[in-house]
Structure 1
Amino acid sequence: MKILHTSDWHLGQNFFTKSRLAEHQQFIQWLLGTVESEQVDCVIIAGDVFDTGTPPSYARELYNRFVVDMHRLGCQLIVLGGNHDSVAMLNESKQLLKQLHTQVIASVGTEISEQILEITKSSGDVGAIVCAVPFIRPRDVLKSMSGESGSEKQKALGEAIKAHYSALYQNALQLRSSKELDVPIIATGHLTALGVTTSESVRDIYIGTLDGFAADGFPPADYIALGHIHRPQKVAKSDHIRYSGSPIYLSFDELKSQKQVVLVEFASSHLVGIEPVAIPSFQPMFSLKGDLASLQQQLDSISVEEGASVWVSIEVEVQDYLTDLQQAVQKMIGDREIEVLQLRRSRAHRERTLNQEQAETLSELSPIEVFGKRLAVEVFDSEEDKARQQRITTRFKQIVEDVEGERS
């Protein structure tokens, strides 16, 4: 029995106004080829198939075509809902996709049995049992109690998630015993485990209530396929508890890690192999940092293939404030197909700018002046950025006027 674990596709994502359609198309074709060559029995997508609850039509089409192609290959598919996914949207095609050997678990239902899935081998025999856990919303497992402190709510949510996993696992054990099966039990999840490394593109899902789920809260399943964290990694140094990570780079700070899917192989109920499989990069991306001279060298070293475009993030380290930073960087690039999607001054420079004005106290400044100094830390070089800065400033002034009007 071979399982392929992936997650966080974020179909339909806009990356600094850039579409990821071409990358997702190439990834899916690569994945289908891997499924076929490795003779995979089941693919598990551990949440965040889509980037938003209302994905564009081309993203839905990609998803539907993938399901059809998986059916053509004779490979089963399990899709778990993530915090970015719409429960209603995933559920609307659930029964139809079930006819194509795709099982969709969009949310935690009222019946535990709905989250216990069986994966069959090519022979038709059961090859594994899955405790299919999607993103768990607090309201799914917890009743709010008035008067609870923040730490009490945090503890209660962690315990409720742990109890849900335990109940599912016990049901899976009973099913395996009643059918006298010698098969593994696999669990899934879409959450933040304690101690993992996140990235800029990962959104907090339990804001103010749960910093992370402790690894000892997971059941003793044979493999635990997790989603939500975009960097591939083990949890608590356990080989069998893993985040596969996202298949494409969803933020520039993810470039340091190799994108991958995870192949998991079982012989009867025994785990015999876990193999991360590197995913090719389908869009050249670079994160550059340094002074102007260093940046020129880094830009010159980038090889641009004919007909391709390179996306870059640039962090400039300069002592003095440059009013024409964007123009200076564009001059370095010239007519090469290098697109600067993110341009910012280094944090150290921005902090120095603030420190130079540290003699001023809050009592000496108006709210609008404080807000203006905070905006000065950001980069608003392009005409579009400057227009956005003006809109933000105007809106803030309106808010201040409203608040002061209520006080008078």
Structure 2
Amino acid sequence: MRVLHTSDWHLGQSFYGKSRFEEHQAFLGWLLEQVREHSIDALIVAGDVFDTGTPPSYARALYNQFVVQMQRLACPMFILGGNHDSVAMLAESQSLLSCLNTYVVPNGTSAEQSTFIINDKNGQPGLVLAAVPYLRPRDLIRSEAGQTGQDKQQQLGDAIRDYYHSHYELALAKATELGADAPLPVVMTGHLTTVGATSSESVREIYIGSLDAFNANAFPPASYIALGHIHRGQLVAGSEAIRYSGSPIPLSFDEVSRSKQVLLAHFDEQALVKVESLAVPMYQKLMVVKGLLGEVEAELAKLVAMDESVWVSIALGSDELLSDLQQRLQAQVADSQVQVLQIKRLRSQRQLSAIDTGETLSELSVDEVFSRRLASEPYTEDEQLRLTALFKQVSMAAMEAPEA
């Protein structure tokens, strides 16, 4: 059995005012080729299919077209809701898509409704999937009078652990029933932050004030756990069987140094055999240029001479104030395929500017606004930690306050 694991597509993302349509379209075409070439038995998308709960129409069209193309390949697809996804939007086509061999789990539900038998190419049961999406705290726990922040953190962590174990137990029972000499492999999914996972600028904290990260040791002993939410592909707790696939395209400039991938998990009749990384091609070149102004201008000149499309973030290593800095850099790349999307100070975060980001406050979460404002001030690491903890307390209190 071969299962392809991907996540965090973020269809519809606006990147400093730039559409990612062509990149996503190219990636989805490439992904279809991988399904064909590797004779995939199931495709798992572990959350954040869309970038927002109200994606643009072209993003929804890409999604629907991909579902139709996958159905033609006779490969079942399993879509898990992420923290960016709208439960209502994913659920509205749930029944229809099930007729097209695509199974959507938009939010937490009973184990019976989110356990699937995946057949091999001969039509025989090959493995059991316990599909776990992003678990919203309000669906798992209720606040109680007198609870401390630590109490709530423990309560949510326990609730997520219990959810995983109850779903695993049902999946294992089915795997045991269907296996010949031993249980079939059990695959689980998830969309959350785990202890020790390395995130990037584009990853939003999803359990603000309640749970910093889920302890990977609390996962049940599934054959493979396909995770989403963290955009950098990585193993969890050093385990080959618990992995983030990462996003298929860079979603922030701090991701450009990492190669992008989807994961191909191979199973025999009883267990995981190996996990193979399939490198996703880069469809839009992104680059971070660092240095003093003269060095930056020299690097931009080289990029212009290359005559290829490049989106650039500039990190200046000087605090010198130049009133015409943006105009000066924009003039250098004018009439070329190089576009400077961001300028920031390398040494001092106090002076931060961006060129034509196209972002408005309505597009940012409260957490993102706080994080960016904090980064712009010269606080020490201890001061940043103290202010972050205070912000989490205030956020938690605001969420718990009764509506007027």
Give the alignment's TM-score, normalised by structure 2: 0.85
8 Å CA contact 1:46–1:227 kept in 2: the answer is: yes
Could you give the per-residue CA deviations for residues 349-381 of structure 1, whole angstroms, max 9, x where no partner exists? 355xxxxxxxxxxxxxxxxxxxxxxxxx33277
1:318 to 2:318 alignment? yes
In 2: Cα distance, 1:101 partner to 1:270 partner: 25
> Within 5 A, what are the aligned runs for 1:88-107?
88-107=88-107
In 2: Cα distance, 1:350 partner to 1:196 partner: 25
In 2: Cα distance, 1:96 partner to 1:381 partner: 43
1:147 to 2:146 alignment? yes
Could you give the per-residue CA deviations for residues 4-45 of structure 1, whole angstroms, max 9, x where no partner exists? 000000001111111110000000000000110011111000
Deviation at 1:118, TM superposition (A): 1.2
In 2: Cα distance, 1:112 partner to 1:266 partner: 23
Could you give the per-residue CA deviations for residues 115-155 of structure 1, whole angstroms, max 9, x where no partner exists? 11111112111111111000000122212212111011001
Aligned residue identity for 2:333: I
Of structures 1 and 2, the larger Rg is shown by: 1
Aligned residue identity for 1:242: R
The residue matched to 2:150 in structure 1 has which SS? helix
The residue matched to 1:302 in structure 2 has which SS? helix
8 Å CA contact 2:342–2:354 kept in 1: the answer is: no
1:163 to 2:162 alignment? yes
Deviation at 1:333, TM superposition (A): 2.7
**Equivalent residues, number:** 359
Give identity over the alignment, percent: 49
In 2: Cα distance, 1:145 partner to 1:132 partner: 29
In 2: Cα distance, 1:124 partner to 1:381 partner: 55
In 2: Cα distance, 1:381 partner to 1:253 partner: 17
8 Å CA contact 1:244–1:262 kept in 2: the answer is: yes
In 2: Cα distance, 1:383 partner to 1:231 partner: 23
Aligned residue identity for 1:38: H
Deviation at 1:59, TM superposition (A): 0.7
Which runs of 5 or more structure 1 residues have no equivalent in the other structure? 352-376, 386-391, 393-408
For residues 140 and 384 of structure 1, do their structure 2 counterparts lie closer, same or farther at Cα, with a shift above 3 Å needed?
closer
Other-structure match for 2:216 = 215
Deviation at 1:180, TM superposition (A): 3.7
Deviation at 1:302, TM superposition (A): 2.5
In 1: Cα distance, 2:54 partner to 2:291 partner: 39
In 2: Cα distance, 1:74 partner to 1:213 partner: 35
Deviation at 1:303, TM superposition (A): 6.4
Deviation at 1:334, TM superposition (A): 4.5
8 Å CA contact 1:325–1:381 kept in 2: the answer is: no
Deviation at 1:217, TM superposition (A): 1.0
For residues 69 and 156 of structure 1, do their structure 2 counterparts lie closer, same or farther at Cα, with a shift above 3 Å needed?
same
In 2: Cα distance, 1:275 partner to 1:55 partner: 32
1:53 to 2:53 alignment? yes
1:37 to 2:37 alignment? yes
Other-structure match for 1:379 = 353
The residue matched to 1:114 in structure 2 has which SS? coil
Moved more, 294-303 or 336-345: 294-303
Other-structure match for 2:248 = 247
8 Å CA contact 1:304–1:310 kept in 2: the answer is: no
The residue matched to 1:341 in structure 2 has which SS? strand
For residues 105 and 383 of structure 1, do their structure 2 counterparts lie closer, same or farther at Cα, with a shift above 3 Å needed?
closer
Could you give the per-residue CA deviations for residues 191-213 of structure 1, whole angstroms, max 9, x where no partner exists? 00010111110011000111100
Other-structure match for 1:124 = 123
Aligned residue identity for 1:252: F
The residue matched to 2:168 in structure 1 has which SS? helix
